[in-house]
């Protein structure tokens, strides 16, 4: 089927409020599966399923690397797709519900099997299938921003609304799941029943959010090649230096972020002594998005994306050291540093999405072919690899510290390992990411020049 192309003016027009809200709803739906696993799957595996922390760390590493390759597969599927609904929107309609149902299955392992070996096998199977299904909805979702507008300011707003959707959902998860962790400590069967009800409700709500995204999103950016071949996809990637540098820097930052996310629930329950404090830590860390997101377009106009990215990284260095060194006897100190880390991760994440969309324009400027799907897929592969490494590093750290799943009290070595995985490990990876990003070549002026030259070439043809 051939594409219906829009005039260039359509792609630079300002988006409406419903489109921003719909885009935020899409990431809210995504995070009912994604953040649920990022924050709570390790403690579910160790304390409910009965998998050791080391075995869970290996599972995270294997499955999340698998997820990364699933992203590349999904990117090619997206690049080849073109329908009367557009290139990306159909995936929200047809892949959204399977993602949410597989999230239910991922948190229902003890109900599906008996015996440790069978449980571990089913954990691999359900989490692996969830990752594949998630790729088929998240790659189109992430690619959609570059197809909705070529206006740099509007893209920054889309990235901000995306992160607002993430923040609202993550805070809600903390309010809903944290009391269950506290209430059912030592009662894995009760926790399992509670999680089953919770994930089923999330599936219903999430599918409604996907339908809202489908109804409000519009793909307006003109494309000269509606269906992209594999050769065109990978040729575009090979020459996209800004994308490669963004991916490498993001890998380091995301390893830091997911290390902290993976053990945050342990930090609240075991280091600070109360799982309910996870709600406060989450509000402080993730809630920062609600403050940073509305300010981001103005900040980008003032200092540019690159300087802003590095500045938020520096804030993260300070916060990570503070989290590891905060005395457990004064929770307000560590909570303050969690809030500061939230400012860092909020800023970096918002900018990542906006920067990724910019690299699509670079690829088209260099090759004449728009490849939103495979470009976002490579970036998402990086995110999955960061999640894999960060989650595995955190799990291995607490395993080396002697963490015992289900134990009412952990020894001091295990508590120290939780603190280091929450702070010092993120600091090391943030510093690496900043070193890489210093050489990132795209500036706002370069971006504007590229878009103008691409449109001029199209008009000449």
Asked if residue 213 lies in contact with residue 23, where contact means CB atoms within 8 angstroms, the answer is yes
pLDDT value, residue 360: 80
pLDDT value, residue 226: 54
Asked if residue 290 lies in contact with residue 192, where contact means CB atoms within 8 angstroms, the answer is no
The pTM of the full predicted model, rounded to 2 decimals, is 0.68
Which domains occur in the chain, in start order?
Answer: 15-217+227-460 (1.20.1250.20)
> Over the stretch 146-196, which tens digit does the pLDDT of each residue have?
788 877 778 778 888 888 898 889 889 988 988 888 788 778 888 899 999
pLDDT value, residue 353: 77
86 φ, ψ (degrees, to nearest 5): 110, -170
Residues of the chain with pLDDT under 50: 1-8
């Amino acid at each position: 089927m051939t594409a219906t192309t829009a005039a260039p003016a359509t792609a630079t027009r300002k988006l409406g409020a419903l489109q921003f809200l719909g885009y935020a709803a899409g990431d809210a739906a995504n995070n009912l599966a994604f953040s649920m696993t990022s924050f709570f799957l390790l403690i579910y595996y160790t304390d409910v399923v009965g998998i050791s922390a080391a075995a869970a760390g290996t599972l995270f590493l294997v499955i999340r690397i698998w997820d990364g390759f699933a992203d590349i597969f999904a990117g090619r599927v997206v690049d080849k797709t073109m329908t009367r609904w557009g290139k990306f929107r159909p995936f929200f309609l047809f892949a959204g519900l399977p993602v949410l149902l597989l999230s239910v299955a991922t948190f229902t392992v003890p109900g599906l099997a008996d015996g440790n070996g069978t449980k571990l096998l089913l954990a691999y199977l359900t989490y692996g299938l969830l990752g594949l299904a998630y790729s088929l909805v998240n790659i189109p979702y992430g690619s959609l921003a570059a197809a909705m507008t070529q206006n740099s300011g509007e893209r920054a707003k889309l990235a901000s609304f995306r992160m607002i959707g993430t923040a609202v959902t993550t805070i809600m998860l903390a309010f809903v799941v944290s009391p269950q962790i506290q209430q059912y400590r030592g009662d894995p069967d009760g926790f399992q029943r509670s999680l089953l009800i919770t994930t089923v409700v999330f599936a219903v709500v999430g599918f409604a959010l996907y339908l809202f995204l489908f109804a409000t999103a519009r793909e307006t950016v003109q494309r000269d090649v509606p269906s992209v071949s594999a050769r065109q996809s990978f040729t575009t990637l090979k020459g996209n230096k800004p994308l490669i540098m963004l991916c490498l820097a993001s890998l380091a930052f995301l390893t830091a972020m997911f290390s902290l996310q993976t053990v945050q629930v342990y930090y609240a329950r075991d280091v600070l002594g109360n799982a309910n404090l996870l709600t406060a830590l989450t509000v402080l860390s993730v809630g920062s998005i609600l403050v940073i997101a509305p300010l981001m377009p103005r900040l980008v106009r003032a200092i540019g994306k690159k300087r802003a990215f590095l500045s938020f990284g520096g804030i993260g260095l300070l916060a990570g050291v503070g989290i590891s060194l905060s005395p457990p006897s004064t929770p307000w100190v560590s909570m303050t540093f969690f809030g500061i880390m939230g400012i860092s991760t909020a800023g970096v994440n918002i900018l990542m999405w906006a920067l990724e969309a910019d690299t699509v324009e670079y690829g088209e400027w260099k090759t004449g072919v728009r490849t939103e799907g495979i470009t976002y897929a490579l970036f998402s592969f990086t995110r999955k690899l960061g999640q894999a490494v960060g989650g595995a590093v955190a799990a291995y750290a607490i395993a080396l510290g002697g963490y015992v799943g289900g134990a009412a009290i952990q020894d001091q070595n295990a508590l120290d390992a939780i603190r280091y995985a929450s702070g010092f490990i993120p600091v090391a990876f943030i510093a690496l990411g900043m070193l890489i990003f210093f050489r990132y070549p795209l500036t706002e002026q370069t971006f504007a020049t590229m878009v103008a030259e691409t449109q001029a070439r199209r008009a000449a043809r």
